[in-house]
Amino acid sequence: MKVPQAVVDAMLAHTLEGYPFEVCGVFLGHPGPVARVAEAVPAVNRETESPRVRYQIAPEDLMGIQGSARARGLEILGYYHSHPDHPARPSETDRRMAAESLSDGVIHVVVGVERGEKAEPTAWVFRDSQQGFEPQTFEIE
């Protein structure tokens, strides 16, 4: 996955601004052997019970993002979310959510946010409910 520096900067700013809550968003771009991200669209975390440790993108929000993307010739390539004061790797909750949403082959970026001061992104691809997540190349252009 190739991501422009400006897109990475916007994503990291979003995760830092949202601290101490998890924030989330959607990557739009062009698929291919090496996916190319064109933009990261922040989404509202609709999780109401535990927004510090979980996120939820409402279906209607996702449909709106997808419609706007298609109108501009872009596709949803994947998602990002933050882990406030937790490691930048998928959790068991992340694995369950990905398995329930049938996101085989979808890119997930997890951003570990330390004390609202430092943000570290890692990229993963979800393979299936048994295998879970595998590390994904995250190349900043």
Candidate list 22, 47, 49, 100, residue with the active-site label: 22
Torsion of CA 128, 129, 132, 138, to 10 degrees: 50
Q: Is 22 a catalytic residue?
A: yes
**Which residue, among 22, 78, 10, has the nearest Cα to 46 in the 3D structure?**
22
Residues with catalytic roles: 22
